[in-house]
């Protein structure tokens, strides 16, 4: 569409969805869509996912460098110290768990903590220095997996359990969900996914967090806005729908007729397509390799669907390419690790909240509020009142 600039009224082109419009500068991450590559600060995100822990990558985004052994130990201790829920929140969690919507429960829990807990969580970020902002955001992020796990266990009729001090961040998440020490292979697989999902350029939820942060609002408000954005099916709300797609297809024989029907009807195929990548999503390739290490009928079927869709598109929609995105094989990996589908998007949030926190801190360094404009297309004004 076209819109006049605010200064000289010269029409300028504004793409739908602000695609490729640069609205800020960041030193945190970048997505090179035509190359199929993305990185966190100076390191390949895929290499980090393959070789580094979630705690190390969290430190990298917050501090700008990978931690030494001593720094990692101290940082891990800080996280552990902030992973305890208040007595008040523990009392209301059973009610928040009642409907099984863990993301909604998480939002309500964070809002509750911001009102009742001491500290700077509810204080406008505008009024805090960088260290206080970082500490408030770290405290909130550290509670996210604890809250999700507690909601899940309460929903299943079990009592929440505290973290095991001998386990890492990802293994503890699985432990708090299920009450048993996880298979190391499952913890490694889930850790790979979570590191790959920590940040991804100026996606919808990260942009939302930065817009709110630009107003100087409190840390909880920034995270609640981001969580609301993440819940949408076109953003983080799609991993479980990728499995729904596989269930709907059902068999190898039904791949062609099901996909053909969806494509000709113009329906979206969940788990496929990305607004930035014009080649294979590197996160999908990474998680496919993780899934293949486990193997099994579900993995084989997912690969068959993935490989057949481009072939069908070449026949039905020549020139149109469609590749799997993060959510397709992320759903497979989370299923392998024993997670219920209701946990898929909340688990995505366990990772992405770390990226939001780093982006919020970075945005707070810029005193300018994010305030774009819109092109008015309504009736001409002014008109006389009836």
Q: Is the dihedral of CA 150, 153, 156, 157 positive or negative?
A: negative
The pLDDT, as a whole number, for residue 326 is 74
Q: Out of 152, 274, 323, 335, which one is annotated catalytic?
A: 274
What angle is formed at CA 192 by the lines to CA 231 and CA 171, rounded to 5 degrees? 85
Give pTM, 2 decimals. Answer: 0.90
What angle is formed at CA 294 by the lines to CA 289 and CA 298, rounded to 5 degrees? 95
The pLDDT, as a whole number, for residue 348 is 94
Per-residue pLDDT of the chain (386 residues; tens, 9 = 90+): 444 444 555 566 777 777 777 888 999 999 988 888 999 999 999 999 999 999 999 999 999 999 999 999 999 999 999 998 999 999 999 999 998 999 999 999 999 988 887 667 789 999 999 999 999 999 999 999 999 999 999 999 999 999 999 999 999 999 999 999 999 999 999 999 999 999 999 999 999 999 999 999 999 999 999 999 998 887 776 677 788 889 999 999 999 999 889 888 877 777 676 666 567 788 989 999 999 999 999 999 999 998 888 788 778 777 666 677 778 889 999 999 999 999 999 999 999 999 999 999 999 999 999 998 888 889 998 999 99
| Partner residues linked to 13 by β-bridges | 2
The pLDDT, as a whole number, for residue 377 is 86
User: Is residue 274 flagged as an active site residue?
Assistant: yes
Q: Which fold has domain 53-232+345-364?
A: Citrate Synthase; domain 1 (1.10.580)
| Partner residues linked to 324 by β-bridges | 272
List, as one string, the DSSP characters of 236-290: TT-HHHHHHHHHHH-SGGGHHHHHHHHHHTT---TTB--SS-SS--HHHHHHHHH
The pLDDT, as a whole number, for residue 3 is 45
The pLDDT, as a whole number, for residue 194 is 98
Q: Out of 113, 200, 323, 327, which one is annotated catalytic?
A: 327
Helix (H, G, I), strand (E, B) or coil at 119: coil
Nearest C-alpha neighbor of 105 from the set 155, 66, 60: 155
How far apart CA 219 and CA 360 sit, in angstroms, is 8
The pLDDT, as a whole number, for residue 237 is 63
Are the CB atoms for 125 and 222 separated by under 8 Å? yes
Domain boundaries, the chain: 53-232+345-364
Phi, psi of 245 (to 5 degrees): -65, -45
How far apart CA 205 and CA 322 sit, in angstroms, is 23
């Amino acid at each position: 569409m076209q819109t006049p600039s605010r200064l000289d009224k010269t029409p300028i082109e504004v793409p739908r969805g602000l695609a490729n419009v640069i609205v800020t500068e960041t030193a945190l991450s970048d997505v090179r869509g035509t190359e199929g590559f993305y990185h966190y600060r100076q390191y390949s995100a895929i290499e980090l996912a393959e070789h580094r822990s979630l705690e190390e990558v969290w430190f990298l985004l917050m501090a700008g460098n990978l931690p030494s052994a001593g720094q990692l130990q101290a940082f891990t201790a800080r996280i552990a110290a902030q992973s305890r829920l208040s007595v008040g929140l523990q009392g209301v969690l059973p009610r928040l768990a009642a409907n099984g919507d863990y993301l909604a429960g998480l939002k309500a829990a964070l809002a509750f903590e911001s009102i009742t807990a001491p500290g700077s969580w509810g204080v406008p970020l505008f009024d805090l220095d960088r260290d206080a902002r970082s500490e408030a955001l770290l405290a909130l992020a550290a509670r996210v997996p604890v809250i999700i796990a507690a909601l899940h266990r309460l929903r299943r009729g079990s009592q929440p359990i505290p973290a095991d001090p001998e386990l890492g961040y990802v293994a503890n998440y699985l432990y708090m969900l299920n009450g048993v020490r996880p298979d190391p292979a499952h913890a490694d697989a889930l850790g790979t996914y979570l590191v790959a999902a920590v940040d991804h350029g100026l996606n919808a939820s990260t942009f939302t967090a930065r817009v709110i942060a630009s107003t100087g609002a409190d840390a909880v408000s920034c995270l609640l806005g981001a969580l609301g954005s993440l819940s949408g099916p076109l953003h983080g709300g799609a991993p479980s729908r990728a499995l729904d797609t596989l269930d709907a297809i059902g068999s190898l024989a039904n791949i062609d007729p099901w996909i053909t029907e969806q494509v000709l009807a113009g329906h979206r195929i969940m788990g496929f397509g990305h607004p930035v990548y014009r080649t294979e999503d590197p996160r999908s390739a990474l998680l496919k390799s993780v899934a293949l290490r486990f193997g099994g009928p579900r993995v084989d079927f997912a690969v068959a669907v993935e490989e057949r869709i481009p072939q069908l598109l070449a026949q039905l929609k020549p020139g149109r390419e469609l590749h799997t995105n993060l959510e397709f094989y992320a759903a497979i990996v989370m299923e392998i690790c024993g997670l219920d589908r209701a946990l898929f998007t909340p688990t995505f949030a366990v990772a992405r909240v770390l990226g939001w926190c780093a982006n919020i801190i970075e945005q707070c360094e810029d005193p300018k509020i994010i305030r774009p404009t819109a092109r008015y297309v309504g009736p001409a004004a002014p008109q006389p009142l009836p």
